[in-house]
Amino acid sequence: MRVLFVGSHLSDKQYSIYGFEQALAAELQGRCEFRVVRPGHLHKAQDKSKWARYLDKYLVFPRILRRESSSYDIVHFCEKGMALNLPVVKGRPTLATIHDFMAVRSALGPDPEWRTGWKGRHLQRMILQSVRQATGVACVSDTTRQEMKTYLYGYKGQVETILNGSYKNYKRLEPHSAIQRLDPGLNLTPGGYYMHIGGNKPYKNREGVLKIYKEILNLAPDSEHALVMCGSGKTDRLIEVERNLGLLGRVIWIKEPDDDVIEALYSLARALIFPSTNEGFGLPIVEAQSCGCPVFTTNRRPMTEVGGDAAVYFDCTDPLDGANQVLAHKENLAELSRKGLENAKRFDRQVMADKYLDFYEKLVRS
């Protein structure tokens, strides 16, 4: 079996998509012949021009893809945005992995939080039209598969739900080992802080994290637990919210930590607070549970699908509810940690790779 992966443009900084590509490639090593191709031929990876990347992805790259795809058994588009180039693949089965429909929802509705201009709406329609031509579609969660019925209604190809594996294979570290990975100046101790990880897209609800933390401090004024916010840097809006809530000096911001630091933060945290309004999968839930970190997250799918009975759920629009749930389970954190470690076993990278291999073979036979 010869598989051609079509990856995302590195300048798009879709770290979760890149993690998916790396994890799948690592597990398929020695089990099939594969190669990854991606845009990046017109401009260097660090080019920040959105339009330059569009020219690269949708004008230059299709010619390369047409030539390269002819010598492979199947072409796997690792994210639906790159599937706009799917029609250039001729005479070969194609597979598109759909991680979420958030960009589609913002473009075509309904999504009151995050609206897209007319060019973005047109682009998302074109992407959906191209995905319809795929031989098969893999959805990373049942939630995404349900949404597919709305946005790809009447799709005639084969569809499978293949749960993501934990991309980074994070494991729980002993406290001493975890502390050694962190900047001593952070002064973080085991169980001494809550954490959140994510970007600044509206659906990540980082303002909600700050508000939940403020309610925790209101309900438990003697609490000495800090809040660690890692991922994207703080925006002017987040600085304003932090100031208005009186949290200056209580919140530790860690911009784009590396994998070793993230694993250490999960391993030492009192809990992950993850109040996203939408997700395609919710990978931080699995990552945290893999490190024994209790998870408090939104009572919506796919968070409930991924967290199972090992997470605690709350209304992400109600910071007080989030705070109440966190404090109500303060004596139950060890049990949540144990159940989370067990739940995380469902998201094994090798199982993910096995299912993709089976799907490849099924599509090639068809």
Asked if residue 194 and residue 82 are part of one domain, the reply reads no
Whether residue 29 is contained in a domain is answered as: yes
Asked if residue 357 and residue 335 are part of one domain, the reply reads no
* Run of H or E residues at 136: strand 136-139
Query: How high is the pLDDT of residue 16?
Result: 85
Query: How high is the pLDDT of residue 52?
Result: 79
> Tell me: the pLDDT tens digits for 208-263?
999 999 999 999 999 999 999 999 999 999 999 999 999 998 999 999 999 999 99
> Tell me: the pLDDT tens digits for 323-364?
999 999 999 999 999 999 999 999 999 999 999 999 999 999
Asked if residue 213 and residue 97 are part of one domain, the reply reads no
Q: Which domain holds residue 15?
A: 2-165+348-365
Q: Give whichever of 4-18, 26-40, 170-184 has the largest mean pLDDT.
A: 170-184
Asked if residue 26 and residue 65 are part of one domain, the reply reads yes
Mean pLDDT of the chain: 93
Asked if residue 90 and residue 233 are part of one domain, the reply reads no
For the chain, the domain total comes to: 2
Q: For residues 148 and 139, is the Cβ–Cβ distance under 8 A?
A: yes
Asked if the model's pLDDT at residue 116 lies above 60, the reply is yes
Query: How high is the pLDDT of residue 48?
Result: 57
**Residue in this structure with the two tokens 């000096």, named with its chain if needed:** 249
* Run of H or E residues at 275: none
Q: Which long-range contacts (CB under 8 A, 24 or more apart) does 118-125 make?
A: 123/84
Whether residue 170 is contained in a domain is answered as: no
Read off φ and ψ for residue 95, nearest 5 degrees: -130, 135
Per-residue pLDDT band at 13 (split at 50, 70, 90): confident
Tell me the CATH number at 9: 3.40.50.2000
Asked if the model's pLDDT at residue 43 lies above 60, the reply is no
Predicted model pTM: 0.91
Asked if residue 272 and residue 157 are part of one domain, the reply reads no
State the Cα–Cα distance between residues 17 and 242, nearest whole angstrom: 30
* CA-to-CA separations, 187 to 55, 152, 225, 265, in angstroms, rounded: 46, 49, 12, 12
Q: What is the mean pLDDT of residues 123-152?
A: 95
Query: How high is the pLDDT of residue 103?
Result: 87
Asked if residue 186 and residue 158 are part of one domain, the reply reads no
**How many of the other CB atoms lie within 10 Å of CB of 333?**
17
Q: What is the mean pLDDT of residues 129-154?
A: 95
Asked if residue 267 and residue 238 are part of one domain, the reply reads yes
Between residues 113 and 188, the one the model is more confident about = 188
Whether residue 105 is contained in a domain is answered as: yes
Asked if residue 316 and residue 196 are part of one domain, the reply reads yes
Query: How high is the pLDDT of residue 114?
Result: 64
Indicate the angle between helix axes 283-290 and 333-344, nearest 10 degrees: 110
**How many of the other CB atoms lie within 10 Å of CB of 162?**
19
Query: How high is the pLDDT of residue 45?
Result: 45
What is the DSSP code (8-state) at residue 343?
H
Whether residue 244 is contained in a domain is answered as: yes
Between residues 188 and 10, the one the model is more confident about = 188
Share of the chain above pLDDT 70, in %: 96
HSE, side-chain direction, 13 A CA sphere, residue 361: 7
Q: What angle do CA 100, 102, 104 make, to 5 degrees?
A: 105
Asked if residue 245 and residue 186 are part of one domain, the reply reads yes
Whether residue 211 is contained in a domain is answered as: yes
Q: What is the mean pLDDT of residues 251-278?
A: 97
Q: What is the mean pLDDT of residues 63-89?
A: 95
Q: What is the mean pLDDT of residues 251-277?
A: 97
- List alpha helices for 245-310, DSSP H: 259-268, 283-290, 303-307
Q: CB within 8 A of 169, min separation 6: which ones?
A: 23, 290, 349
The span from the first CA to the last CA of the chain, in angstroms, equals 14
Residue 110 buriedness (CB in 10 A; 0-12 / 13-18 / 19+)? exposed
Residue 271 buriedness (CB in 10 A; 0-12 / 13-18 / 19+)? buried
Query: How high is the pLDDT of residue 120?
Result: 83
Q: What is the mean pLDDT of residues 4-13?
A: 85
* CA-to-CA separations, 199 to 49, 134, 196, 205, in angstroms, rounded: 20, 30, 10, 9
Q: What is the mean pLDDT of residues 300-318?
A: 97
Whether residue 186 is contained in a domain is answered as: yes
Query: In terms of DSSP bridges, do strands 136-139 and 158-161 run parallel, antiparallel, or are they unpaired?
Result: parallel
Asked if residue 352 and residue 340 are part of one domain, the reply reads no
Q: For residues 299 and 322, is the Cβ–Cβ distance under 8 A?
A: no
Asked if residue 216 and residue 136 are part of one domain, the reply reads no
